[in-house]
Each structure stands twice: as structure tokens, then as C-alpha cells.
Amino acid sequence: MTTQATSTLLRTENLRLYFRTTQGVVQAVDDVSFTMPRRDALAVIGESGCGKTSLVRAILRLLPSNVHTYSGNVFLNDIDVMKLSEERFRTNVRWTKMSLVAQAAMNALNPVLRVGEQVAEPLIVHQRLSKQAALAQAAEVFQLVGVSPDFLGRYAFELSGGMRQRAIIAMALITRPDLIVLDEPTSALDMLTQANIMNVLKGIKRDLEQSFIFITHDVSTTSELSDRGMVMYAGQIVELASAEQFYLDPLHPYSAKLMASIPTLKEKKELEFIPGQPPSLLNPPTGCRFADRCDRRFDKCDTEPPLQQLADGRWIRCWLYNK
Amino acid sequence: MKTRFAKLWQTARKYPTIMMSVVIISVLLGIAFYAMISIPFSEAALLWRGAENIWEDTPRLAAPIWFNAFRSEKLSETVNLTREDALITEEAVSATIRKETWVYEYDFPYATFPQEMKAFFTVSADDKNPLVKFTWVKPDGTTYQLGSMTASDGSRYGISADATVSREQFNNQPLQVELYRDPSSTTEEPAVLNGTYQFIAEVYHFTDSSEIEIQFVSFGEVYGIAGTDHLRRDLRIGLLWGTPFALMFGLLGAVGSTSITFLIAAIGSWYGGWLDAAIQRICEVRLQLPTLPILIMLGTFYSRSIFLILGVVIALDIFSSGIKTYRAMFMQVKNLPYIEAARAYGASNMRIIVRYMIPKVAPVLIPNFVTLIPTFVFLEASLALLNLGDPTAPTWGKILNDAYHAGALYRGYYYWVLEPALLLIFTGLAFSMLGFALDRILNPRLRRI
Amino acid sequence: MQQEQALLSVQNLRTWFELRRWAFARAGWVRAVDGVSFDLPRGEALALVGESGSGKSTLARTILGLYKPTEGEITFEGMELSKLKASQMREYRQDMGYIQQDPYGALPPFLSLRSILSEPLRIHGIKDKKEQNDLIRNVLTEVKLTPVDDFLTKFPHMLSGGQQQRAVIARAMILNPKLIAADEPVSMLDASVRVEILKLLRRIQESHNLAVIYITHDLSTVRYFAERIFIMYAAKTVEKAPVESLLENHFHPYTQALLAAIPDPDPENAKTLRDVPPGEPPSLVHPPTGCRFHPRCPQAIKGLCEVEEPPQFTLLPGHTVECWLYKDRDSKTE
């Protein structure tokens, strides 16, 4: 099903995911459109409640029961996977073409199964391999992530936090999907372990052909792995730019403030913080959603700015930069 | 506070079972209060003890009056007549003798014969008690001369047992059959003659100060709103007063049991060490012991006081699986950050237990507590049924116990069993429904989104 | 020159926890803090940096009296805390405030903010309603939870993460302590809120002249909020230094690894691998022999580092390190 002709791996158009809750409809993902070329690493940055985890759910179709709206298009290799039935999506797309390293997944390893069995399971389910063949491939993938194949026969509690996370990455990698989505892969880990895991991911990106979507609220870590950065705020994309553009010269006021609020050791700069809170997704404000916290707002901000592409190739949703 | 209540009401309305159970419980509470107000307990206890002449004017084993609503052929109702219903005339017979004629006239539109008939006398006379002669007049005019007797204070005349009118004359039937029989009926079994009957008592007073009150009772097959039992007691007393008894037993048992269990679980889990170990071992041993045999032994060999039984039941209930469940919850709470913070700002152990740990777990307590109430209510009934309850207390269980020993179901006195049983069932149903609904509200894992 | 007596003095502190198998048999000890000594003067902010399992949280909790030290002494304002009875200890708890990592978990969910803040007051005998009110208002104003009247009746779940942490800070400050222990106070908050809270803490520290023990695993924030920094590894303080000195000269190989591992928003990072040692922190039940870092240390000296535990060497004023690499550079100057 893969077509090498196209260099766009993933394209979303007007993706919407709204949830029904006891307090109303939460517009978690609100009209998100972006493209991702092959062998690209995209960092999705935003605070809690901006919709980035819901974006993961929308792309991978891991939906809870209280979905209110789920619409739009998701093109994977030019095939609209939104139109596939649940069964076909499960067998042909999820974990064969796209896989997920979920938040705190290392704590979700099944405690009564051996680690090797769990890592090999996607192969047994999707590619109908025998257990032996699957375990052999699991051993290979373990090497890739830097875990000794001896650990295949161990149980989850015998592994340390860092090793469990590597096992989870191995599980996501084992079917050689085109796209791996990582949702806060290192937030529960120590700094050294974090750096080690990042090294593993960098190695995988360099040696294999995987693309990554890397979601986190920790802006500093994202620079480890991203070719491009996408900032989400209140369910919308506000800026999408290349790594150089984004980290060195963020244009959107929110991205700029976010960058300014990160303490760094390399230079002593005055830290800024953003007063106020992100808006509730139950009733997003009309107009620019960042306007009430922005110190550069003007009267045009009362209408919602569209996502537009600038001359240098980046996308931005802000009246300050729209032509 | 008001808005919290309003919010609670709104959530409650979503669950129809809560509304139903609230209605039933309100009715039960209403009955309980009515019972306690209309019949003070001392009076009720006396009535229930059923001494010799308290229930003499009620029939034995009579069904409730509303049974007749379901029958085409009505069962005989009890007729109870006193002075206001009588036509009394007086005349002088001689210089010293006064004749007072009491005429009781009443309608008898029923299809079955009464169980028996009696007349009760209240007499005040200085020397000589008056003499009374009785006459019976049927609707078709047939008159029977019944016997006569000297009436003393508190004496009674059992009309059915009158030996002066020989039974042999009337085909070996009891006298009241003949007195009510329709002679023109063609059925093999005697039929009742409907119409107006007269019971006439001619009282001959021998002194001027002699006075008499005559109460005439025709004991029917139905009586009252709840019927009567083998001791002629109006079951209404037992059922009414059984309600507050049941509710109190249930409430006290549930409250006492739950609160103490909670506290012990909290203390044990907080202090840990040997205290916790000791409590757990006690519970484990107790869990191996069977409750009912223990209570039976206690009741048989020691005392049947209801409070002792209640106390022992609560004690046994505390040191059982409840403690283990709550302890598990408290162990989780113990490790929460705010408990650690409380230790850091100097809170004492007791303060942490009572002010910080218990309120956190308490919401779970409420549904458990509510579902425990019917357990205690049924326990009281079971104990009474097994002859372990207080024999003088008017409770539903005691009614069932009496019914059981009198073979009520074999003999067809279904009302005797059904009335207390239904009350027990509704009580249990109401509290269980309420408890389960509260569990769904308060236990977040069971909540439906 | 008269040295002002340090507010807090810790000598050779060890906090070990007993491991029990089957509730009876002893299976060893978890050596969570294993030989830590330092002085903390009034008004100084000290950062404890280390990974999970390094002992930093346990150290703070032992100082606060939540754990009993297995060995060693803690002296606060001249009083040795281990000699105190429980009732006397309560008095000292007034002088120490505790800020925890989880802002929501640190607040009892069923109490209003007013009740939460009046608890410490009630425990320490401040029963007068007016006095309680004044203290509560003052502290809420200081942490900028205003208008005060709005917040007094709120419950924890009605507050945002940042507001919850402010409430925790308010509670820690209400008895006017001299020392605050803040255990990862911002790691569970959003990035944009972190700075606000850290700035608030700094401001409070400066205005009240508080001694602060600030525990974190995020080295990059230390520069803004602490004067001194201790790097902890496997229950020991492997390097202690003023912050600026540490950033210029990182002596211990672990410190070097930490500094190399700190993420920063630099697009060049995607192109290079970070130079960090492999492996995991060691078990605290069976720590490695000798220097505890030696299994992971790229500069370990064979025959020495795995045999003997290094003592503390002073390399610069106020800058010490526990590493055999510097055994010849110990300057005895303080």
C-alpha cells in the first residue's frame, strides 16, 4: 500500500475532534491541517489542555466513547484513512503504518507477561508470524534500542524505568511503521535516562526511515529530535516552522513567550512568564484565542486569524504577520 | 449550603430508584412516628403482652376487614355494641325491683356465621347483683329465650356456651349457627339469614344504687385493619410498633457498626505495627466463626435482652470484613501528599486520622451504611423467628414467630404471615435501592458518563 | 570574624529504611541518605539536584522530621532535633515549611481554602478568630491569590495548578517559618506557570530572609533561584558548590554528565548525540563498593574507585567534590 512516489507521508485536512462531557462539548482538536514529509521529525508543542494528546487520538483513531464530532481527512501515503472501516483501520493502518508510544506507557506494560512476548505481539497479531520468528525480530529491535536481548525473557518489574521505555519504543518500532507518534516519551524519566532515550531515537531516525511526531510540553527536549516544530494552543495550530526558524526566532507571540520562559544554563536571561491561563475548550473565544494573554494584541484580533504560510515557508496564525 | 442541596437533589432525580426508595422510607417513617405518637410505648407493651382481659372483645384469628373487598360473599364482621347503640327503657316491677331493658339492634348482611357471641358486664351494686335475662330475635321474627344469670362486675355471658338451650335440638350445630340460620334455605350447609337482629337483655335491679353496663360483641371472621392473632391481639399494634422497632434496630445497628468499624480501621492503618497486626488477627479469627450459632448460644444460655443481642451483633459485625476493606482504603489515603504535609506542619496523629483521613474515605461509607440497615432489620426478624428475640417486644419478627408456631400457613391464616413479611420486604427494598443508587453516585468508578 | 551560627547544620546524616521480608525477617536496608553533612545559613537558597533515588527528597524529609535519622545529627537554631520529644518537635515544625511536588495532592480535597490555611494555626495554638483571619489574609495576598475573599471559600479542585501551588506555598508560609523545603515545586506545572511560581518563591525568600532547600532534577532552573547547589548521587553529595562556580567548573564526572544531558532549545541538538554515560542509578540496598558512580564513570580509576569511597576534597572556596580524580588537588583552604 505504500507508494514511494509521494514524499508526503501524512496530511491532515480540517481535522476535528470534539468530546461530549457532562459540562458540554469540548472542542479538543479544532480544524487542524498540516502535512508531514517522509523522514521528518515533527515536534508538537503546547501546554496541557491545548489538544495535543487529542490530536494523537484523532490521527490514530484511538477514540473514547464520548466523541461528539470526528471529522476531516487524514491522508497517509495519499490514502484517506478516515474513510476506512474500523476493522480495516485496525489491521492495515494502526501499528502497521502508524504506531504510538503513549504517555507513561512504560507503566502500562502487562505485569504478567514477559517483556519479549509483549514486544513481539504486534507481529503475531498483524503479520501472523509464529512466536519464534516474532521473538527473533524482537531481539533485533531490542538491539536497536540498546537493550540486551537477554531481557526478552524478563518481566516488566525487573526492568528499570529507562529500559521499560526502550521496550515500549521497541514495541512501536517492531512492525517498521512509516510513522511513530511519541506522546511525552521521556517526561517521567531522569535527565540522564532521558538523554539516553533521546540518543536512541536519534539513532533510529538516522539509520531507519521512520518519521516521528513528538508531542510534549517540555519545549527544550523537543529540539533533540525535531526537524520542524508545531505549536498548538487551545486546539489550534498557531505556528508551524522549521527547527531553526522556530527555536531561534519564534514569531507567534505565544511561541515567543514560551521560548522566553525556558530557563537555560548557557546564558543567563531574564525569564518571562505568561500571565493568565489557556482558555477552556468548552467555549473557545471568538477571535484569536491567545488574544487575552497577548501583549501585542490590537483590534483586528477580535476576529479569528487564519493559518497562513509566510514567505520563509512557515505557517502562522496571527494577524501581526498575515499579508 | 442551599446550592449543595439543590445540586444533590438534581443528581438524585436522575435515579428513579432513589425517588422510589425515598417515598417508601418516608411512608415507613410516617408509620413509625404515628405509632409512637398515637400509642405510647408503655401502653403498647401492655397491650402486646395480652393479659387476660385486654383482648377479650376481639375475635381470635380474624382476618383484616379489607379481605371482604375481594369477596362476593362477605365474611362476618365483628359487631361491638355499647350503651350508645342500645335502646334502654326502665320500669318498676315492684317496690324494690327495677327492670332495665337493653335492646341491641343491628344489621347482619354477611354470608358467614360469627365465631361466637358474648356479653360483658360492668356492674356496681352494693348488696345484691342484678339478674339478667336474655332474649334473641331473628329478622324473620323467630324469638329464642336464652338463659339468665346474675351479673357481677366483670362477669360475662357466653351466648354460644349457653347450656340452657340444648344443642341437641339444633342438629349439633353451635348455638350461634342456629341463632343466625336461615330456615328457608335449601342448601345442605346452613345459610345465614340477613336482616336486622335483636339482642335483648332484661336486667332486674334489686337495689336503687345498682347499675350495669352491658357490652355486646358478635365475634366476626374479620376484624380491624390488620386482623388478629391467636391471642386475639389486634395485629395493628404489632405492625405499627414494629416499624419504629425495625427502623431503630436497623439504624442503631448500622450506625454503631459502621462508625466504630471505620474508626478502628483508621486507627489500625495509621499506627501500623503491632496494633494493626492485632486488629487484623482478631478479624481473621472472627471471620471463621459463624454468627447465628453464636447468637443462638447466647440467647439460650445467657439472656434474651434485645440490647444484649444487638450489642453482640454489632461487636461481631465490626471485627469482620468491613475493617479489612476500609483498612485498604485508609492505607491508600495514608500515603497521599496532604497527609505528609499535615505531619510536616505538626498535626497530631488523632487529628490526622479524624480530620484528614476519615473525611476522605467517608463518602464510601454512606452506601455501605445504607445497605447495612436492612441487614440489621432482617437480623432482628430472624432472631425473633428463632425464638431469640425479646418475647415481649412488638416487632414484626415476633409476629412471624407467633404465626410460625401457630401453623398459620397450614391453617390458611395468610394475612398473619404476609403483613409482617411485606413490611420487611419493603423496608429491605427501600434501603437497598437507596444504598445501591448512592453507591453509583458516590463511587466514581461506577458512574456512567 | 564572628561567624553567625548557621540556621541548620547537618552532620553525617544517614537515613536508612528497613526492608522486611514476610513482615518479620530483615532483608537489609535501603540506604536512602548515606553520609551527608552541610551547613545552611539564614537566608540562603540551596539547591539539591539529583535523579530519582539519589536521596534528595529523603534528605529534605528527614530534616523536616518526617523520617527519623538512622545516624547523624540535625541541629536547627542550636537545638539538636534528634534529642527532642515529639511534643517539643511540634514547636520546631512552626519554623519549617514544606512545599510538595503535587499541588493538588498536597491539599485536602474536602476542605475550603480558609480551613486548609487555618489548620496549621489551630494546631499551633492560634485560636483567636481575628488573628487567624489577619494571618490568612496576609499570606494569601503575598502569594497573589487575590481577591482574597473569592479564594477563601474555594475548594482545591476549583483552582488551577498554579493557584493550587500558591495555596500550598501560603500554607507553608503562614506560621512565618525560617526554613522552607520545596520538593520539585514546579515539575507538575505547565511550562508557562513554572516561571511565575519560581519567581514568587524567590521573592518570598528574599523578603522574609528564608533559608530554602530547593529540590529539583532540572538543573537549568537552579541558576535563577539558588546560591548554592549540591549534586546528589546514590545517597551522597558528590559535589557541592556555589552555583556560578559549578557552572564554570564541573569537576565530578556525574556533574559533567548532568550538564551534558540538560536539554535546551537548540536546533543543533537534533544532529548530534549527547555524551552521557549509559546505565542506571544503582540500587540503594546494595550500593556499589567504593565510589558509587564507578560502574558508569568514564574516568574511573581502576583499582581505586571500586575499592574505596572517596572523601570530600575542597578544590575552590566553598566548592567540594567527592572524587578520587582530585585527590591531589585538595586545598585545605575554606
* pLDDT over 50 (residue C1): no
Q: Does A112 touch chain C (CB under 8 A)?
A: no
DSSP, residue by residue, B176-200 = HHHHHB-TT--SSS--BPPEEEEEE
Q: Taking CB atoms and an 8 Å cutoff, what residues of chain A touch B449?
A: 21-22, 65-66
Q: Taking CB atoms and an 8 Å cutoff, what residues of chain C touch B340?
A: 61, 66, 98, 100
* pLDDT over 90 (residue B59): no
What span, in angstroms and rounded, lies between the C-alpha atoms of A283 and A286?
9
- Which member of A48, A220, A257 has the closest CB to residue C263? A220
The whole-angstrom distance between A267's CA and the closest CA on chain B is: 35
CB C167 within 8 A of CB C120: no
The whole-angstrom distance between B317's CA and the closest CA on chain C is: 27
What's the rounded mean pLDDT across residues B401-421?
Answer: 90
- Cα radius of gyration rounded to whole Å, chain C: 21
Strand order from edge to edge, sheet including B143-150: B86-92, B98-108, B195-205, B131-137, B143-150
Q: Does C281 touch chain A (CB under 8 A)?
A: yes
How would residue B52 be classed by pLDDT, with cut points 50, 70 and 90? low
Percent of chain B past pLDDT 90, that is, above it, reads 17
For chain C, the chains sharing at least 3 beta-carbon pairs closer than 8 angstroms are A, B
Any idea which residue has 391481639 for its cell?
Answer: B233
How would residue C137 be classed by pLDDT, with cut points 50, 70 and 90? very high
How would residue B449 be classed by pLDDT, with cut points 50, 70 and 90? very low
What span, in angstroms and rounded, lies between the C-alpha atoms of B68 and B60?
17
| Three cell numbers, residue A197 | 532515550
- Cα radius of gyration rounded to whole Å, chain A: 20
Q: Does A124 touch chain C (CB under 8 A)?
A: no
| Three cell numbers, residue B49 | 403482652
Highest averaged pLDDT of the listed ranges A45-49, B205-209, B293-297, B418-422: B418-422
Q: Taking CB atoms and an 8 Å cutoff, what residues of chain B touch A66?
A: 449
Q: Give the Cα-Cα-Cα angle A209, A214, A216 (nearest 5 degrees).
A: 165
What span, in angstroms and rounded, lies between the C-alpha atoms of C75 and A5?
73
Q: Does C113 touch chain B (CB under 8 A)?
A: no
How would residue C286 be classed by pLDDT, with cut points 50, 70 and 90? confident
Region class of C270: left (phi > 0), else alpha (psi between -120 and 50), else beta: alpha
* pLDDT over 70 (residue B165): no
| Three cell numbers, residue A5 | 512516489
Phi, psi of B341 (to 5 degrees): -60, -40
Q: Taking CB atoms and an 8 Å cutoff, what residues of chain C touch A244?
A: 267
What's the rounded mean pLDDT across residues C94-122?
Answer: 92
CB C293 within 8 A of CB A222: no
- Which member of B344, B355, B359 has the closest CB to residue C66? B344
The whole-angstrom distance between C219's CA and the closest CA on chain A is: 8
CA-to-CA separations, C161 to B314, C117, C187, in angstroms, rounded: 45, 17, 11
CB B197 within 8 A of CB B134: no
Q: Which residues of B touch C (CB under 8 A)?
A: 336-338, 340-348, 351, 355-356, 359-360
For testing contact with chain A, the best of C264, C275, C276, C283 (most A CBs within 10 A): C264
Tell me which residues of chain A have a pLDDT lower than 70: 1-6, 266-268, 323
Give the H/E segment covering residue B157: strand B156-158
Residue A83 CB burial class (10 angstroms; 0-12, 13-18, ≥19)? exposed
Averaged pLDDT of chain B: 84
Contact C106 B351 (CB under 8 A): no
Q: Does B449 touch chain A (CB under 8 A)?
A: yes
Length of chain C: 334
Q: Does C43 touch chain A (CB under 8 A)?
A: no
The whole-angstrom distance between B442's CA and the closest CA on chain C is: 14
How would residue B171 be classed by pLDDT, with cut points 50, 70 and 90? low
Q: Which residues of A touch B (CB under 8 A)?
A: 21-22, 65-66
What span, in angstroms and rounded, lies between the C-alpha atoms of A269 and A262?
9
For chain B, the chains sharing at least 3 beta-carbon pairs closer than 8 angstroms are A, C
Those of residues 18-47 in A touching chain C at CB distance below 8 A are 41, 47
Count contacts between A and C (CB, < 8 Å).
Answer: 127
DSSP, residue by residue, A73-88 = EEEETTEEGGGS-HHH
Strand A228-233 relative to strand A41-45, pairing: parallel
For testing contact with chain C, the best of B1, B333, B345 (most C CBs within 10 A): B345
The whole-angstrom distance between C283's CA and the closest CA on chain A is: 11
Q: Does C42 touch chain B (CB under 8 A)?
A: no
Phi, psi of B434 (to 5 degrees): -60, -45
* pLDDT over 50 (residue B448): no
Contact A41 C270 (CB under 8 A): yes
What span, in angstroms and rounded, lies between the C-alpha atoms of A246 and A238?
12
* Nearest chain B residue to A64, by CA: B449
CA-to-CA separations, C145 to C98, C103, C121, C160, C197, in angstroms, rounded: 19, 15, 19, 11, 12
Strand C79-80 relative to strand C313-316, pairing: unpaired
What's the rounded mean pLDDT across residues C66-88?
Answer: 85
The pLDDT value recorded for residue B330 is: 92
Q: Taking CB atoms and an 8 Å cutoff, what residues of chain B touch C81?
A: none
The pLDDT value recorded for residue C4 is: 59
| Other Cβ atoms within 10 Å of C5 Cβ, number | 12
Contact C98 B345 (CB under 8 A): yes
Q: What pLDDT digit, counting tens, does each position of A150-204 carry?
A: 888 888 888 888 888 888 889 888 888 888 999 888 877 788 888 888 888 888 8
Q: What pLDDT digit, counting tens, does each position of B297-338 carry?
A: 887 888 777 778 778 888 888 888 889 989 999 998 998 999
Q: Taking CB atoms and an 8 Å cutoff, what residues of chain C touch B360?
A: 108-110
B388 vs C103, higher pLDDT: C103
* pLDDT over 70 (residue B167): no
* pLDDT over 80 (residue B107): yes
The pLDDT value recorded for residue B384 is: 84
The pLDDT value recorded for residue B93 is: 83
Q: Taking CB atoms and an 8 Å cutoff, what residues of chain C touch B337?
A: 100-102, 105-106
| Other Cβ atoms within 10 Å of A244 Cβ, number | 14
Q: Which of C43, C4, C40 is nearest to C206 (CA)?
A: C43
CA torsion sign, C307 to C309 to C310 to C311? negative
CA-to-CA separations, A119 to A131, A139, A159, A202, in angstroms, rounded: 11, 9, 14, 20
Contact A190 C224 (CB under 8 A): no
